[in-house]
């Protein structure tokens, strides 16, 4: 996806939050803010890839401040919020064990996003509200059919906390479809995105192979992720992609494999791109070849 004028204000808000998390030194905060404004002036241009631009911006902030994980506490907070909601999720699953219900729960988990939303958002209440919504686009029947015919599946994660909800869906897919699943997570921290160590902590390796994307990028960025991941994306039977960052990056790539995007739209730009209202749960199949 390309930059839109609305991306500028979002990137500046994220920058301020990242800087504030990274250092308590107001002089350093001012110095890095000036670097951010210089970067935006030089790089915020028409037709540039949105999540690559955002990735480079966050790398700049982490380097200038000397903190390679400004969102560590928020990522851990997201995990704790999600774990508190496990009993509620288990009750929802007990009442409805369909693939659609598991996927809806995973999509609701996508609201745990301290990069896209204001940090004072009550995530717990937002998830409880979101989990009751019906998908605005619902290609679950296509996903079900594809899984029945598949042998190998790639699951691209998004945020910390959210992967607690992903685990339910991954276990469901493994149990009902007996496919080989590979879960790809960020190599190192960026924003509050899930990283490889989060997957091992949740014991996702019991159900899938865990791999790194080869980069700490906002979603998949073609220029940064590993050749191993690129090759895998073209050779699995289907890709399940969580979140907006992956949507931004994958839609800039040519991929042979069908992609099933599971996300909640948290910004106007992506909502318009997909053609749904803001805050919509979406399960949509896209062919990117």
Instruction: Answer yes or no: is pLDDT of 68 > 70.
Output: yes
SS3 15: helix
Query: What's the mean per-residue pLDDT of the chain?
Result: 93
Q: Measuring CA to CA, which residue among 122, 220, 204 is closest to residue 166? A: 204
What is the reported pLDDT for 161?
Answer: 87
Per-residue b/e over 208-232, b at no fewer than 16 CB within 10 Å? bebbbbbbbbbbbbeebbeeebbeb
Instruction: Answer yes or no: is pLDDT of 123 > 70.
Output: no
Query: pLDDT digits over 13-49, tens only?
Result: 999 999 999 999 999 999 999 999 999 999 999 999 9
Q: Which residues are paired to 137 by β-bridges?
A: 282
50-65 helix and 26-43 helix, angle to the nearest 10 degrees? 150
Instruction: Answer yes or no: is pLDDT of 85 > 60.
Output: yes
SS3 87: helix
Q: Are 244 and 267 in contact (CB under 8 A)?
A: yes
Helices (H), 153-256: 162-177, 196-201, 227-235, 244-250
pTM of the model: 0.94
Q: Are 107 and 71 in contact (CB under 8 A)?
A: no
What is the reported pLDDT for 114?
Answer: 56
What is the reported pLDDT for 130?
Answer: 83
What is the reported pLDDT for 76?
Answer: 85
Q: Measuring CA to CA, which residue among 119, 124, 139 is closest to residue 259? A: 139
What is the reported pLDDT for 117?
Answer: 47
Alpha carbons 183 and 151: distance in angstroms, whole number: 14
Q: Measuring CA to CA, which residue among 109, 102, 81 is closest to residue 168? A: 102
Alpha carbons 246 and 158: distance in angstroms, whole number: 7
Predicted confidence band of residue 119 (pLDDT cuts 50, 70, 90): low
Q: Are 242 and 283 in contact (CB under 8 A)?
A: no
> What distances in angstroms separate CA 31 from CA 34, 44, 53, 221, one per listed residue?
5, 20, 20, 28
Residue 285, H or E segment: strand 281-286
Instruction: Answer yes or no: is pLDDT of 66 > 80.
Output: yes
Query: pLDDT digits over 141-174, tens only?
Result: 999 999 999 999 999 999 988 999 999 999 999 9
What is the reported pLDDT for 125?
Answer: 77
Query: pLDDT digits over 176-220, tens only?
Result: 999 999 999 998 999 989 999 999 999 999 999 999 999 999 999
Question: In the sheet that 238-242 helps form, which strands lie side by side, from edge to edge?
Answer: 137-138, 281-286, 259-264, 238-242, 152-156, 180-185, 209-212
Quote the percentage of the chain above a pLDDT of 90: 80
């Amino acid at each position: 996806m390309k930059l839109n004028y609305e991306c500028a204000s979002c990137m500046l808000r994220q920058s301020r939050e990242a800087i504030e998390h990274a250092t308590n030194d107001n002089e350093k905060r001012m110095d890095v803010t000036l670097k951010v404004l210089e970067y935006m002036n030089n790089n915020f241009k028409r037709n540039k890839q949105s999540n690559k631009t955002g990735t480079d911006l966050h790398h700049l902030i982490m380097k200038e401040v000397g903190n390679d994980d400004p969102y560590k506490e928020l990522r851990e907070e997201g995990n704790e919020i999600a774990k508190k909601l496990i009993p509620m999720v288990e009750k929802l699953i007990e009442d409805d064990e369909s693939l659609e219900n598991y996927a809806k729960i995973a999509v609701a988990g996508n609201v745990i996003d301290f990069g896209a939303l204001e940090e004072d958002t009550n995530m717990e209440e937002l998830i409880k509200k979101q989990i009751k919504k019906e998908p605005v686009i619902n290609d679950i029947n296509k996903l079900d059919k594809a899984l029945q015919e598949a042998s190998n599946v790639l699951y691209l994660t998004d945020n910390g906390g959210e992967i607690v909800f992903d685990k339910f869906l991954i276990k469901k897919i493994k149990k009902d479809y007996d496919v080989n699943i590979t879960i790809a997570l960020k190599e190192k921290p960026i924003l509050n995105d899930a990283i490889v160590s989060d997957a091992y902590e949740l014991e996702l390796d019991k159900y899938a192979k865990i791999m790194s994307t080869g980069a700490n990028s906002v979603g998949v960025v073609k220029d940064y992720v590993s050749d191993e991941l690129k090759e895998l994306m073209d050779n699995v039977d289907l890709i399940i992609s969580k979140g907006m960052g992956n949507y931004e990056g994958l839609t800039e790539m040519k991929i042979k494999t069908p992609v099933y995007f599971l996300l909640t739209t948290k910004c106007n730009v992506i909502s318009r791109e997909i053609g749904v209202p803001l805050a919509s749960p979406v399960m949509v199949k896209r062919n990117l070849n």
